[in-house]
Structure 1
């Protein structure tokens, strides 16, 4: 079992969540993911496909999101994407307003210094931010409807 998976399970226990096989497998899928995943991608993964239905995966993702163990992102009218929150690791994203595609930004985050200053001047603990940029991806921009 990976360190990230063990830490995520520990955070679930601390939040009062019961460790079930479905929870462990869902966290395993999210830990191994190279990018945020939709509900359907999680539910259809080989680890979960025979384990539980979409409703169960949805309820688990909602509970994980409510406890800040998973981050929900994306456009409200499109499929939501979910990503395991790993303390100390931060990613910013580009989100296409046409197709809903999400991809990480491979550049330094311009908000980190501001976050440090706000933490210092206000005394806030556990301060974090989410940075998402919205626009039209190159594939959608080239479609005839534009």
Structure 2
């Protein structure tokens, strides 16, 4: 198993979740994805179709989001997208308000220096941010 998946499973266990094959496969699928994925995409992925049903994937995603292991993205009226939160790895997103398309921002994050300054001035631990930009994608414009 991938070391990032193994360490993420360990984080889940420390947070009170049971280690199951479905959990491992869901985390591996999210880790290998080159973009955030919807519930439908995850439930129909090769790894998960034989492991569990869509309702199980949904429940796992909800618990992972509550525990801060997975980030839920998207507009509430549209399908939600999910991405794995990996310590030391950060990604910001562009979200189309028309079609719901989600893309990674391909530029350095402008908030990292501000985050470090806030951490130093306030003494907050485990400080992080999530940055999403909303607009109309070229296809919808």
TM-score by length of 1: 0.95
1:70-114 alpha-carbon deviations (Å, 9 max, x no partner): 111110110011001000110111000011010001101010111
**Residue in 1 that maps onto 2:85:** 85
Matches within 5 A, 1:91-106: 91-106=91-106
Give the distance between the partners of 2:98 and 2:54, measured in 1 at CA: 25
1:139 partner SS: coil
**Residue in 2 that maps onto 1:5:** 5
Give the structure with higher Rg (CA): 1
Give the distance between the partners of 2:45 and 2:60, measured in 1 at CA: 15
1:138 partner SS: coil
**Residue in 2 that maps onto 1:64:** 64
1:108-132 alpha-carbon deviations (Å, 9 max, x no partner): 1010111001000000000000010
Give the distance between the partners of 1:7 and 1:139, measured in 2 at CA: 39
Pair 1:41-2:44 in alignment: no
Structure 1 runs of 4+ aligned residues shifted over 6 Å read none
Q: What number of residue pairs does the alignment pair up?
A: 141
**Residue in 1 that maps onto 2:16:** 16
**Where do 5+ consecutive residues of structure 2 fail to align?**
none
Query: How far apart are residue 50 of structure 1 and its match?
Result: 2.0
**Where do 5+ consecutive residues of structure 1 fail to align?**
142-146
1:28-72 alpha-carbon deviations (Å, 9 max, x no partner): 111111111100000000111122111110000000000001111
2:28 partner SS: helix
Give the distance between the partners of 1:4 and 1:33, measured in 2 at CA: 13
